Structure 1
Amino acid sequence: MDGARPEAVEYDAVVLGAGPTGENVADRLRAAGLSTAVVEGELVGGECSYWACMPSKALLRPAIARAEARRVPGLRQAVQGPLDAGAVLAHRDDNTSHWKDDGQVAWLDSTGARLYRGVGRLDGPRRVVVDGPGGERHILTARHAVAVCTGSRAVLPDLPGLDGAGAWTSREATSAQAVPGRLVVIGGGVVGVEMATAWQALGSRVTLLVRSGGLLPRMEPFVGEQVADALTEAGATIRWDTSVTSVEREGGTGPVTLVLGGGERIEADEVLFATGRAPRTDDLGLETIGLEPGSWLPVDDSCRVEGSEWLYAVGDVNHRALLTHQGKYQARIAGAAIAARAQGVPLLETDRWGAHSATADRAAVPQVVFTDPEAAAVGLSLAEAEAAGHRVRAVDHDIATVAGASLYGVGYRGRARMIVDLDREILLGVTFVGPGVGELLHSATVAVVGEVPIERLWHAVPSYPTISEVWLRLLETYRQE
């Protein structure tokens, strides 16, 4: 370059980040006729496509399918051998498009949005500087909005020896090209239990270290108990109330040694830290608009950053619900809100579709954990409902007693719980754990989001013989108590 400052290119909106959230914001903006630039420093498709949802579920599906097959008479003897780890990893690679984003780029191009490769940073109000490959630089300005959709990153604790130890985060755990003989997983949340499930099934000897509480602490306690039992039966070791004080690994290669709180030392081939997320806002230029680098960005229900007329934060960065489907939901809301404001259309909180106001990322967030058994929940747990001051009743039922559970084979274990608001007689939350329960979750989400009266749910007849008949049993239990 000759050092000349490039001329600014103006768009109606600039989107920072081309993961699922950013892609959907751009799609909505283009559908509304707004010129849109999208800036991405890594792969179009983001974390979910290459290092989270898709590769993790590709690793987990063979483990879950084999576990379910082993419970079915007439089939169990045929599936007693080990998984073909090479085939599983190859299928995972196919699901990530081998970490190439050509297909995602083609889709983004089809919307009419302009893609800029490089690191985008804010440079004052409505202005973005993009440092691209080969030293090229672009300056983009936004007439109406800049949408920050940069997601979140894994957080590593501040431990002696951890730097340079080659520890895994969720990225390495979902993209590793070989099965470690011994894997230590630190953390009992979703990433920890899913990756412990996957790698144990692929042949690793997994040790799961949990500092406090049980597994999956944001769900009902019985969920973590059943997942812990299943992991232990599969051969994993779970160490409770265990903390790590330091990490040792010479030259970043060879075995890694973890020093525990009591001085005990554990050796493994790899260690995964699944210990939380932080927003990708530390190198975003937030300081140029009076915001703190590295901070979460609080927003209103249209995903507009509090105190701003033009800045939006959509998906993980606003810390409302760190889930891909919730980020895409917010993207639809934010895209519609930006377009309406750009066109001078008032945002009505009571518009027919609620198109400009995100609510489902606070009141009724659904999530499936793809372990064996599966865990699925939406809305409030019993503890959360009581803490919020609701007068509630928890209604439980053993899914194994439902006729459809017998079709899953011998030894089905599962449990369902619904949290009933006794004053309004609607559901505030529903939780399932057991094989196949992920497919029950959307019915629960509709019931919770729609605030369907229990007297109407009684007339929503589940098909026989499916495990969805647990709905009937839950309602019967509620009426009898």
Structure 2
Amino acid sequence: MSDTQGNQENSTYDVVVLGAGPVGQNVADHARAAGLTVAVVERELVGGECSYWACVPSKALLRPVLAVADARRVDGARQAVTGAIDSGGVFARRNRYVTDWDDSGQVDFLKSIGAELFRGQGRIDGPRRVTVTRDDGARLVLTARHAVAVATGSGPVLPDIPGLDEARPWTNRQGTDSSSVPGRLAIVGGGGVGVEMATLWRGLGSHVTLLARRPLLPRLEPFAGELVTDGLARAGVDVRIGAEVTALRRPDPQGPVTLTLNDGGVLQVDEIMFATGRTPHTSDIGLETVGLTPGSWLDVDTTCLVRGVEGDWLYALGDVNHHALLTHQGKYQGRTAGDVIAARAAGRPVDDAPWGDHATTADQHAVPQVFFTDPEAGAVGLTAEQASAAGHRVRTVDVDFTAAQGANLYADGYRGHARMVVDLDREVLLGVTFVGPGVSELLHSATVAVAGEVPMRRLRHAVTCFPTISEVWLFLLTAYERA
């Protein structure tokens, strides 16, 4: 692991960033581009959760599983798939993309932009002041002239269940950094992490039981969870909706885990993974020194400035502000906040009006998300239920992908569904959801339409290429016009 400790003689910087994941790197990059001096504090690997235990490793692991599934949907290609996936090759691929958990490349990026890295636990110690405690106990004080930006991310929530410690459960970290395939794996949680890990480990040969209290992917349109549930079941995953774990036992640390379920049933597995939510990494960063509650999500305005702290100097970006626990959305916040900090430092006006240069408006209106399951599920904006609850007068438009010849050429017997949610008063899209093989690459077109508030009458002039999966747009717009 590469290590730089920064110039300890200069402990005053324009901006101090807590957390060197993608979010922290973005705010540092934009602040440096504006000429501000920046210190970045990191207690683990530079690159954070996303680079080593979440987005990057999970997608590196999932791609071989989905590639084989895609091949099996095409006549002529499926005959070439004659064996099981090589798990060793998949793990080696993952290791390449996480650079064997060596963060020297990302350390070099921070050096290249002129930011200084300080390794250790960073804690706020009053206004514009951060202490850094290194592993060897040495302590350094950093002072920020203009801003401290908290980008410390989040960690997994584990339920309070008898026997939890004894069971030594997996979280997303073990789910993405393990290099052996458990014979039997129970996954608790039906959100994005749960369904992706079920797809992955079943594809690598594990017998997977997915336990969820409610239908899968509950924050998306209902049909998304239904199609993903069907896809998991077709792959051999035992999906149990309404199931809860009430107790765990693992008397032999090397032996199986016994789960007691809420219906009185018992399940025995080799490993159990919990994907039951996230909690912010704010319990040990000194929030109490500025009047905030340790361990809390941080309430921010549209410029990511933390509310309730005097002096307009504390910012919170990414998972910690609870707007959207997605790397790409956190990076967007980081870019915006870096520009805001620079503008305020220079005394320039801040454009925080909706869709302004210094407002994270997309956090409320155009958050895209993709789940790399089989089929894939992607969505941006509001669901029909969310839009109606927000007071919009809406029309939903639904089509099956079977209407698009491009989809059928992509995969024989292509199965998928798409929905638009239209604001009838303004004639613009409020939300779009796609479910089907390969739909992740369709999502940005929907994001542009939603974020850009492109009028429906103009969207009809965006001609779709034939024959592609994106032809589904033509059928959605035609269905809207004829409704």
Q: Aligned residue for 1:332? A: 335
What whole-Å deviation, never above 9, does each CA across 1:265-301 have from its counterpart, x for those lacking one? Answer: 1110110100000000011111111110000000011
CA contact (8 A) 2:164 2:248 kept: yes
- What aligned pairs does 1:424-463 form with structure 2 within 5 A after superposition? 424-463=426-465
Partner of 2:404: 402
User: Which residue in 2 is equivalent to 1:303?
Assistant: 304
The correspondence for 1:186, drawn from 180, 184, 188, is 188
Residue 322 of structure 2 corresponds to which residue in structure 1?
319
Residue 164 of structure 1, CA deviation: 3.6
1:166/1:253 contact within 8 Å kept: no
1:126 aligns with 2:102: no
Match of 1:172 among 151, 174, 193: 174
CA drift of 1:400 comes to 1.6
Q: Residues of 2 paired with 1:426 and 1:232: CA distance? A: 36
Q: Which residue of 2 aligns with 1:293?
A: 294
Q: Give SS of 1:83's match.
A: coil
C-alpha contact 1:25 1:331 (8 A) present in aligned 2 = yes
Distance in 2 (alpha carbons) for counterparts of 1:125 and 1:459: 53
Q: Quick check: 1:321–1:362 contact (8 Å CA) kept in 2?
A: no
Cα distance in 2 for residues equivalent to 1:28 and 1:17:
15
**1:198-347 mapped onto 2 (5 Å cutoff):** 198-212=200-214, 214-308=215-309, 309-347=312-350
Give CA deviations for 1:34-65 in whole Å, capped at 9, x if unaligned: 11100000000001000000000011101111
Count of aligned positions:
474
Q: Secondary structure at the match of 1:326?
A: helix
Q: Which amino acid aligns with 1:341?
A: R
| 1:87 corresponds to which of 86, 89, 93 | 89
Deviation at 1:350, TM superposition (A): 5.0
Q: Distance in 1 between matches of 2:217 and 2:315?
A: 31
Code of the residue aligned with 2:238 in structure 1: it is T
Please give the secondary structure, in 1, of the residue aligned with 2:165: coil
Q: 2:408 & 2:263 partners in 1: Cα distance?
A: 46
1:129-168 aligned within 5 A: 129-168=131-170
For the 8 Å contact 2:410–2:469, the answer to whether it is kept is no
8 Å contact kept, 1:378–1:429: yes
Instruction: Please tell me whether the aligned partners of residues 415 and 436 of structure 2 are also in contact (alpha carbons under 8 angstroms).
Output: yes
- For residues 143-196 of structure 1, the C-alpha deviation after alignment (integer angstroms, 9 at most, x for no partner) is 111000001111000111101421000111011110000000001000000000
- How far residue 480 of structure 1 moved from its aligned partner, in angstroms, is 1.0
What's the offset of the Cα at 1:80? Answer: 3.8
CA RMSD after TM alignment: 1.3
Question: Unpaired runs of 5+ in structure 1?
Answer: 1-5
The one of 339, 354, 357 aligned to 2:356: 354
Q: How has the CA–CA distance of structure 1 residues 349 and 289 changed in structure 2, closer, same or farther, with 3 Å as cutoff?
A: closer
- How far did residue 89 of structure 1 move? 0.6
In the TM superposition, residue 263 of structure 1 has moved relative to its aligned partner by 2.3
Preserved contact between residue 283 and residue 293 of structure 1 (Cα < 8 Å): yes
- CA-CA distance at 1:135 after TM superposition: 2.0
Alignment map for 1:85-124 (pairs within 5 Å):
85-124=87-126
Contact residue 224 and residue 435 of structure 2 kept, 8 A: yes
Q: Is the 8 A contact 1:165 1:251 kept in 2?
A: no
Q: Deviations over 1:99-141 (max 9, x none)?
A: 1101000011111111000011111111111111322211101
Classify the secondary structure of the residue corresponding to 1:185.
strand
Task: For 1:340-419, list aligned pairs within 5 A.
Answer: 340-350=343-353, 354-419=356-421
**Cα offset, 1:8, TM superposition:** 7.7
Q: Which residue of 2 aligns with 1:3?
A: none
Distance 2:433 2:105 in 1: 36
Note if contact 1:7-1:139 (Cα within 8 Å) is conserved in structure 2: no
Q: CA deviation at 1:251?
A: 4.8
Residue pairs, 1:37-76, within 5 angstroms: 37-76=39-78
Give the fraction of aligned pairs with identical amino acids, expressed as a percent.
64
Residue aligned with 2:272, SS: strand
